[in-house]
Chain A
Amino acid sequence: MKLGGFAGRILIVNLSTGETRYEPLDYGLAEKFLGGLGVSLKLYYDIVKPGVPPLSPENPVVLGTGPLVGTDLPATSRVYAITKLPQSKAVAWCGGGGMNFGCMLKNAGYDNVIIEGRSEKPVILKIFDDEVEILDAGDFWGKGVKDTCSRLWDTYGRPTGIITIGQAGENKVIFSMAYIEGAATMGRGGLGAVLGSKNLKAIIVKGSKGIQVADRKRYRSVRDRLLKTMREYPYLKEWQELGLMKSLPFFPMDLYKKVKKRRLACVSCPIGDKDVIEIKDGPLKGTVIRSTSMINLITPMVYGLKDYREAIKCVSILDDFGMDMFEFFGVLSFTKDLIEQGVIAPEQAQDKIKVDSLESVEIWAKKVCFRQGLGDLLAGGFNAILDTFGDMARPHAPYIIRGMLPYTGPRGPLPWELFGTMELGQSLDPRGPHVGASGSPTYFARRPLDQFPRHLRRMGAPEEAIERILPSLGSPEDEESLKVGRLLTYSHNWFSALGSLGICARAQINRFYNAETCSEAYSSVTGIETTKEELMMKAERVWNLLRIANVREGFARKDDTLPDKWFEAPPFKNYVTMKPITRQDAERMLEDYYDERGWDKRTGIPTKEKLAKLGLE
């Protein structure tokens, strides 16, 4: 039987042997793990041998798109990569707004691509319908992300979907990322290095097979309802204009208007929030950059760069090399402190580190990207620095979780002091500390608790769980009025549902979807009749699989790190009472999370009963 929505095939590429072949997608797998994030994770879990090092040929990368990707349901474009990442050494998902890539991959006839082995020389994987080729990367190797994309488009035309790495990935910088068409990033925990270790510079896709849905009439009714709500949304224009900046009231809007050149959107997205930005004046005039969000472009100002044009230029340099800004600035500032503290001798650094000077940042970006001098150590991230300088360095380190910098926190680069799901989630994420909305009402906002049940129902949380999350709703509020750990469980499940279907999780999209719409969309597209409850159970199954994939690698509660520095002044604050959060408070939230999940509270490992219930034994 052919299901709707799915392309129905998996492409398997072995870079060591040069062999490419495809297999039919096992529909049992799709039924059990929904698609996209879920199916990719299961494929990875089944083929990887536990214990393989992230940068070895034995660590495969599984790319995947969900069954809704390629349809015109709003913002269904997500692309996922599952692999073991070098920063956290855990099995993790990397995801990005798929631009053209997801739609093109599906149209080429593939739901997933499994990339195994390591090529002897640098290559580009070309997937144009049934024509799959491993091409010599030639002089693409050594080029930045921007150059690589524009030359590929010049050769193959638009729209061609492109995933590429920059020189940082080639040189296996531990915080190098992969980029989708220069406008979306994937895997700041080192997906770039994983692809670089395989000598895979880029993947290009184009397809013309078409994607059919199972029940056109029912599909149209779900779609039209969604589109109507979006059209009638009073803030539509504002969201289209400002994107994520709308949720950050402190953002300098005039500045944005000055540099905005074009809005970009992933395929099918009615509220696109990607930008082409151009510096219009001054010595950096003419610099053009694609960005996932203007917010990122001015982040270097947090580190002291005074001029927004210099900040934009700085991000454009890092993006072109293909490495994560937060980690880069994190290790650079840390190294600077270690030099000031006398732990590292200034001669070792050769060039002075000034994080507030574009010139200095550029020098150091090059040193890290090309692993020159002390840059080689920085390219190994916080762990490499701590391994080298040990106890002398430790007291000067910032917050660190799984070797990476959690970027929201009272002293994080994105300063935020309320301890909600996004903050606790930084400890539980196998990728290392990432932040994401996942539809949670605590995302960069302090919403009153009585608004929570509506959000939670939308995210598919059952009524009895809502009572556990908000045990004293309607009574006077105290520290225990909001159970952040329990809430995070449903926030993760909701993310897992969206990711497996292929829907973007960003706030402006997420808000229009609810569990019921998702199950209706999934049923009408695939023909697999799925209730809201079934959908959320499968999403929960996917999240549990992610956990057991990591338990198999030796991860457990001990790795769900709550950094000591989180509890020093200035501390995080309780979401309801604004009282400082203590370590005990945070530990309790972790335990609430495990408990809500049916995991062992001591070890953080899913119990046998839970796994049996989810059909994961």
Chain B
Amino acid sequence: MKRFLIEVRPELCTGCLRCELACSEVYTGAFNPSAARIKVQVSDNECSISFTEDCTYCGICVDHCFYDALKKRLEEKA
């Protein structure tokens, strides 16, 4: 599987959780934000985007973000 470095731009994140939905569905077979390997927390003033240890850097979450808050970096993750 291809692996990517994922760049995050929290200021563009809307909290739509499309990334968490997609990740959880691919890896657990069910839509379940709490089981996603990406964690997004948005408040009025801040946003944090992080990845759990078992993230495979497959980039699927990036494909599902419509707001450019996640970007694949050209070089692949080692």
Contact = CB atoms under 8 A, between A and B. Distances in A.
Contact of B44 (A71, A216, A271, A276): A276
A290 B44 CA distance: 8
Given A72-B31, A107-B34, A208-B32, A272 B16 contact: yes
A208 B35 contact: yes
A14 interface: no
Interface in A173-224: 207-212, 216
Given A107-B32, A262-B14, A268 B21 contact: yes
Contacts of A71: 21, 31
A209 B18 contact: no
The binding surface of chain A is classed by DSSP as loop
B6 interface: no
B62 interface: no
A261 B13 CA distance: 12
Given A263-B67, A265-B16, A268-B21, A212 B30 contact: yes
Interface in A259-317: 261-272, 276, 288, 290
Given A158-B41, A264-B42, A266-B16, A72 B33 contact: no
A267 B66 CA distance: 12
Contacts of B18: 72, 268, 270
B14 A210 contact: no
A542 interface: no
Nearest to A157: B41
A72 B67 contact: no
A27 B45 CA distance: 43
Given A210-B24, A210-B28, A268 B43 contact: no
A152 B42 CA distance: 14
Q: How large is the interface on B (under 10, 10 to 19, 20 to 34, 35 or more residues)?
A: 20 to 34
Given A240-B67, A264-B15, A72 B25 contact: yes
B49 to A, nearest CB: 13
A103 B66 contact: no
Contacts of A288: 44-45
Nearest to B32: A210
Q: Which of A158, A208, A227, A265 has the most CB of B within 10 A?
A: A265
Interface in B1-59: 11, 14-18, 21-22, 24-25, 28-35, 41-45, 47
Contacts of A208: 32, 34-35
Contacts of B71: none
A12 interface: no
Contact of A159 (B17, B25, B31, B44): B17
B64 interface: yes
A153 interface: yes
A9 to B, nearest CB: 16
Given A208-B34, A261-B44, A263-B14, A72 B22 contact: yes
Contacts of A604: none
Contacts of A72: 18, 21-22, 25, 31, 64
Please provide the 7 A-B residue pairs with the shortest distance between their CB atoms, ordered closest to farther.
A210-B30, A210-B32, A270-B66, A208-B34, A265-B16, A265-B14, A72-B21
Interface of B: 11, 14-18, 21-22, 24-25, 28-35, 41-45, 47, 64, 66-67
Interface of A: 70-72, 100, 103, 107, 153, 157-159, 207-212, 216, 227, 230-231, 236, 240, 261-272, 276, 288, 290
Given A70-B31, A72-B21, A159-B17, 20 more contacts: A72-B25, A100-B15, A159-B42, A208-B32, A208-B35, A209-B30, A210-B29, A210-B32, A210-B35, A212-B31, A230-B66, A240-B66, A262-B11, A262-B42, A264-B15, A267-B33, A269-B14, A270-B66, A288-B44, A290-B44
